[in-house]
Amino acid sequence: MKKKLLLLLMLLVTSILIIACNGDEDTVGEDSEGTDNGSGEESNDEGSASEEEVEIRFAWWGNTERDKKYNEILDLYEEQNPNVTIIREPSTWNDYWPKLSTQVAGGNAPDIFGLHLLLYGNEYFTKDVIEPLDSYVDQGLVSLEGWDQSVLDAGTYNGDLLALAKGVTIQALITNKSKIEGLGLDAPPAEISYEDFKDYAATAAEALPDGEYVTVDPTLIGEHGIEMWVRQQGGSLLTPDGSALGFEKEHLTEYWQYWAEMREMGAVPPANISAEQAGVPEESTLFAQGKQLFQDRPTNQAKMFADLLGDAELAITRYPVMEDGEFRGGEQLQVPAIVMSQNSDVKEEAAKLLSFFVNDLEATKIYSAENGLPGTEPVRENLEGSLHPMDQKAVEHMNLVTEDIPKTTIRPEGAVQITELYQSYSEQVAFEQMTIDEAVDAFFEEAATILGQ
Amino acid sequence: MISRFWHKNKIPLLFLSPWLIGVTILAFIPMIASLYLAFTNYNMLQAPTWVGLENFNTMLNSDSRFFQSLKVTFIYVFLGVPLQLIVAFSLATVLNRGVKGLSFFRAIYYVPSILGPSVAIAVLWRQLFGMEGIFNDFVSIFGLEPQSWISDPSTSLYTLIVLLVWQFGSPMVIFLAGLKQIPSDLYEAAAIDGAGPAYMLFKITLPLITPIIFFNLVMQIIGAFQAFTPAYIIGGGTGGTLDSTLFYTLYLYIKAFTQFEMGYASAMAWFLLVIIATFTGLLFLTARKWVHYQD
């Protein structure tokens, strides 16, 4: 009796294993079938002509809400192209990058995947991983009709067009206008200088109860703040070749001093609360709970906070400007883009899907400026009536900002290590483990070692 | 030679083949590859280039985060493991007294060991010791200020040590089994000679259970050096504020997958192997002095 039971159990386990393995084999089999014949067929303007079954792998980062939009768009494409099956590979932002780099290293990158150009552009552009799109544009598979040159430039490397923007967005201060007015204050103007912002924050901090703050401590949420600060003064985070820091010690000293004063006056939370805030879900952030007046984020996230805050009226305030700086603003255009893998077996089909995703009016309407404003005129026009009110404000904001910022740069290789180093010394300062002068010296010394390698 | 070996062992080898193939493909080959990569500069996207000992040189001479990660890991291992074993041993002795429903308690105490290294528990821990966590309600009874134990750099590592200690179940079960092996006539004889409980503990129980202590110590130290999940989840994948929870394995992961330095990460992995081998070796050397096997 016992033996029989054991035998049965083993049989069960084995069959589960076989089934599990089988599932994989099936997809592999179909995949290679599609490619063997796919290369021989002539491309045709009509999607209906290619009747070969193809599978396209498509990866993106996001959350469950965003996944719904992607799925809807990809379902639509499958409906219009019955021969195409799209394998979807969604991840959260944090998991996306390790997964992608591992896949690329293993030679099984998704056919189409998302790439954040500002942060990761050069890590991938320089390594023969991404398929240039120019030949597909010439064949008419990818349309560039109505695209802004500046947005195309952002995705071009060494003269090759590698990436098309899913959207363009800019860091700003999302502003809880209702809350400010509730304190008996006026909302700040759309543009405000660093000095005026400090005075404004001082007044607001006085009016706020304990446990509520004016804005986020930008020194503890990454490198956007310092990068804008040095760009406004004619510098950059790193020199274009990535061999040295693009700014001087006094830039960093003044920046850390500015925010240390804000911390002292209670305009930004103390370091331990900021540190805790960095890891909480969006709905638990102080801003989403109505305990903070400004939120330091890209403008495409304004609509998410509008939803989280219910009936509060939000506005978008520009990141503080420097009237006496070399540039008034230092914002970078942030371009989450979409690219094709050089290893793809179904390049022509992938090119069509890629073009569909960024150009098709129906698809982009579903996407609804999720990753920021589209870089193409016809799509923007088509969205005009249906945009979320916060996205309409983001359009105004973008028009305002693009007038006086330096050219957006893609960070050179090695930038990731420098930004992590910067973050660690920012924490040393905020937690008062080091004086600002000590931290500046140590940061510059260590950065030189890293970049000198 | 080979054919004779094959002829003789054909059937056992065939039965072993699923495991053999698995261990070769999934463990042995990657290990050899990582040994090679440890001496290269490899960003995973381009072919590796040979750099000799440069990775080890950078690691030991100019990487401050590397030393921070060593410090954090050493505190975690050498504070956490002894504490965990003390708790495990104490509870095992209590349970050994013949508590009613022994198997129930044994199961209950064992549960954390199963759950311990999981993502779910790490997330739970984050909640417990966070700003809004239950632990703050608890300390407020004693009039202490609420704070975020997880993100405060002076306390965050200790929350992880508490998490390690809490997983005392598996060493406890082994201790319990060991305690049951001690012949009861020893205690009876000692009692007749007028020995008190403390005397019995130090002169009978502890010496006789040293092989078990040794086994648990080795296993737990090896495990603790490789701890990853709690630090990854609780620190949000970054090593926490001021790198206060930057475990060695977490830094290795950051190097490999966020900074794209797989060569350096491989070098770190092999260095960790050396560290663990050293400490295990030291334990085995000292074992002659304090571990008593009953012959």
Tell whether ipTM is more than 0.85. Answer: no
> Hey, of B43, B242, B259, which one would you mutate to test binding to chain A, going by the most A CBs within 10 A of its CB?
B242
Among residues of chain A, what percentage have pLDDT more than 70? 89
Is CATH 3.90.550.10 the classification given to domain A171-331+414-452?
no
Q: Choose the mutation target among B21, B40, B45 for the interface with A, i.e. most A CBs under 10 Å.
A: B45
Is residue A2 over pLDDT 70?
A: no
Q: Got the DSSP string for B209-226? A: HHHHHHHHHHHHHHHHHT
Q: What DSSP assignment string belongs to B237-290?
A: TTT-GGGTT--HHHHHHHHHHTS--HHHHHHHHHHHHHHHHHHHHHHHHHHHHH
Q: Does B3 touch chain A (CB under 8 A)?
A: no
Q: Please give the residue of chain A at the shortest CA–CA distance from B255.
A: A417
Selected from 3.40.190.10, 1.10.287.130, 3.40.50.740, 3.50.50.60, the CATH number assigned to the domain covering A54-168+334-391 reads 3.40.190.10
Q: What residues of chain B lie within 8 A of the CB of A433, using their CB? A: 242
B258 and A453 within 8 Å at the Cβ level: the answer is: no
Residues in chain B within 8 Å Cβ distance of A424: 65, 242-243
Query: Does some domain include residue B26?
Result: no
In this predicted structure, the answer to whether residue A295 has a pLDDT above a threshold of 90 is: yes
Collect all residues of chain B within an 8 Å Cβ-Cβ radius of residue A341: none
pLDDT of A11 > 60? The answer is no
Q: With 70 as the cut, is the pLDDT of residue A262 above it? A: yes
**Under 8 Å CB-to-CB from B135, ≥6 apart: which residues?**
B128, B129, B149
Centre a 10 Å sphere on the Cβ of residue A78 and count the other Cβ atoms it contains.
Answer: 15
* Residue A97 with chain B: CB contacts under 8 Å: 257-258
pLDDT, tens only, B155-175: 889 999 998 999 898 899 999
What confidence tier does A137 reach under pLDDT thresholds 50, 70, 90? very high
Chain B residues in contact with A123 by the CB 8 A cut-off are 43, 45, 260
Query: Hey, what amino acid is at A75?
Result: D
Portion of chain B with pLDDT greater than 90, in percent: 49
- Contact criterion met (CB < 8 Å) for A276 and B151: yes
**Which whole-number Å values give the CA distances from B234 to A380, A392, A417, B222, in the listed order?**
41, 38, 22, 21
Please answer yes or no on whether A431 and B257 come within 8 Å at the CB atom: no
pLDDT for B123 equals 81
Condensed to tens digits (0 to 9), the pLDDT of residues B268-280 reads 999 999 999 999 9
- Using the predicted structure, report yes or no on whether residue A272 has a pLDDT greater than 60: yes
| B43 neighbourhood in chain A, CB within 8 Å | 123, 127
Residue A280 distance to chain B (closest CA, Å): 9
Are the beta carbons of B43 and A427 separated by less than 8 Å?
A: no
Average predicted confidence (pLDDT) for chain B: 89
- Strands annotated E in A269-308: 294-298
Name the interface residues of A facing B (CB cutoff 8 Å).
94, 97-98, 101-102, 104-105, 123-124, 127-129, 271-273, 275-276, 278-279, 416-417, 420, 423-424, 427-428, 431, 433, 446, 449, 453
Q: What pLDDT does A30 receive? A: 38
Nearest CB among A124, A276, A417 relative to B148 is that of A276
Chosen for mutation from A272, A277, A411 (greatest number of chain B CBs closer than 10 Å) is A272
* Residue B33 falls inside a structural domain: no
Sequence ranges of chain A with CATH classification 3.40.190.10: 54-168+334-391, 171-331+414-452
**Count of the separate structural domains present in chain B:** 1
A168 beta partners: A373
Q: Give the dihedral of Cα atoms A256, A261, A266, A267; nearest 10 deg.
A: -70
For every residue of B158-207, DSSP letters joined together read: HHHHHHHHHT-HHHHHHHHHHHHHS-HHHHHHHHHTT--HHHHIIIIIHH
For A294, the 3-state DSSP assignment is: strand
In the beta sheet, which residues pair with residue B271?
Answer: none
Evaluate whether residue B268 is within a structural domain.
yes
Query: Is B38 within the bounds of a domain?
Result: no
The confidence score (pLDDT) of residue A217 equals 95
Whether B167 maps to a domain, the answer reads: yes
- The pair of structure tokens assigned to A370 is 């999720």
Rounded CA gap, A177 and A174, in Å? 9
For B235-260, letters b (16+ CB in 10 Å) and e give bbbbbbbbbbbbbbbbbbbbbbbbbb
Instruction: Flag whether pLDDT at A78 surpasses 50.
Output: yes
- Global pTM? 0.78
3-state secondary structure of A212: coil
Contacts of A421 (CB under 8 A, 6+ apart): A443, A446, A447, A450
Q: What is the pLDDT of residue A51?
A: 66
Phi/psi of residue A216, nearest 5 degrees: -80, 150
Minimum CA–CA partner of A220 in chain B: B241
Cβ pair B212, B176 in contact under 8 A: no
Residue of A101, A105, A431 with shortest CB distance to B242: A431
pLDDT at A20 over 70: no
Q: Taking 90 as the threshold, does the pLDDT of residue B9 lie above it? A: no
From chain B residues 15-74, the ones with a CB under 8 A of any chain A CB are: 43-46, 58, 62, 64-65
Angstroms from A296 CA to nearest CA on chain B: 19
A22 pLDDT higher than 70: no
Q: For residue A75, give Cα distances in angstroms to A66, A359, B184.
A: 14, 16, 72
Give A162-210 pLDDT, tens digit per residue. Answer: 999 999 999 999 999 999 999 999 999 989 999 999 999 999 999 999 9
Report yes or no on B71 lying in a domain.
yes
B182 CA: distance to closest CA in chain A (Å): 34
How does pLDDT run across A359-409, given as a tens digit for each residue?
Answer: 999 999 998 888 888 988 899 888 888 888 899 899 889 888 888 888 887
Percent of chain A surpassing pLDDT 90: 55
Measure B221 CA to nearest chain A CA, in Å. 28
- Using alpha carbons only, give the angle B149, B153, B157 rounded to the nearest 5 degrees: 70
Q: pLDDT tens, A29-47? A: 333 333 344 343 444 444 4
Say yes or no for a CB contact (<8 Å) between B151 and A124: no
Residue B21 lies in a domain: no
- Pick from B9, B161, B2, B162: nearest CA to B77: B161
Average pLDDT over all residues of chain A: 86
State residue A93's pLDDT score.
83
* Domain encompassing residue B118: 54-290
Q: Can you say whether residue B237 is alpha, beta or left, with left for phi > 0 and alpha for psi between -120 and 50 degrees? A: left
A104 Cα to chain B: minimum distance (Å): 6
Q: What is the CATH number for B283?
A: 1.10.3720.10
pLDDT tops 80 at residue B236: no
* B33–chain A nearest CA distance, Å: 13
Q: How confident is the model at residue A282 (pLDDT cuts 50, 70, 90)?
A: confident
3-state secondary structure of A285: coil
| The three-state (H, E, C) secondary structure of A137-200, written as one string | HHCCCCCCCCECHHHHHHCEECCEECEEECCEECEEEEEEHHHHHHCCCCCCCCCCEHHHHHHH
Q: Using the Cα atoms of residue B38, residue B44, residue B49 and residue B54 in order, give the sign of their dihedral.
A: negative
| pLDDT of res. B131 | 75
Residue A97 has, within 13 A of its CA and on its CB side, a CA count of 20
Using an 8 Å CB-CB cutoff, list chain B residues near A101.
44-45, 257, 260
Closest CA to A205 of A270, A149, A255, A151: A270
In this predicted structure, what is the pLDDT of residue A48? 45
Nearest residue, CB atoms, B243 vs list A97, A417, A424: A424
A431–chain B nearest CA distance, Å: 8
Stretch A416-428: mean pLDDT: 89
User: Band of the pLDDT at A25, cuts 50, 70, 90?
Assistant: very low
- Element at B27 (helix H, strand E): none
Are the Cβ atoms of A275 and B241 closer than 8 angstroms?
Answer: yes
Whether A81 has a pLDDT exceeding 70, the answer reads yes
Say which of A123, A127, A275 has its CB closest to residue B151.
A275
For residue A74, give how far its alpha carbon lies from the nearest alpha carbon of chain B (Å): 28
| Mean pLDDT, residues B216-232 | 92
pLDDT-above-70 percentage for chain B: 99
Do the Cβ atoms of A104 and B153 come within 8 Å? Answer: no
Asked whether the beta carbons of residue A275 and residue B147 sit closer than 8 angstroms, the reply is: no
pLDDT over threshold 70, residue B205: yes
* Residue B98 forms part of a structural domain: yes
At A33 the pLDDT is: 38
Q: Give per-residue pLDDT as tens, B108-148.
A: 888 888 876 778 888 888 888 877 788 888 888 888 877 77
